[in-house]
Structure 1
Amino acid sequence: MTTRRTRWQEAGNSSNYGKRFAELVSAGEDIDGEARLADTLLQRRGARVLDAGAGMGRVTAALLRRGHDVVAIEPDEALVRQARETYPGLPVAERDILDLGPDDGPFDLVVCVGNVMVYLAEGTERAALRAMRSVLGENGRILIGFHLQDRPPHAHAYTAAEFETDLAAAGLRVDLRAGTYQLHPANEAYGVWILSSAQGEPSA
Structure 2
Amino acid sequence: MAKKQYRYPAVNFIPKDPFYDTPIGKGMVWALRVGRYIVVFTEIIVIMSFASRFKLDRDLTDINSSIVQKTALIQSYGSTETQVRLIQTRSQKISDLLSQNAPLSQLNVLIGEVPTDVKLSRIGYQATEIQIGGVAQSSASFASFLQTLQHTPSFKGVIIDQLETGDKRDPGYVFAIRIELTDQPTSSTAPLPVAPSTTNTTDATLSTGK
TM-score (norm 1): 0.26
Greater RCO structure (CA 8 Å; 6+ sep): 1
Greater radius of gyration (CA): 2
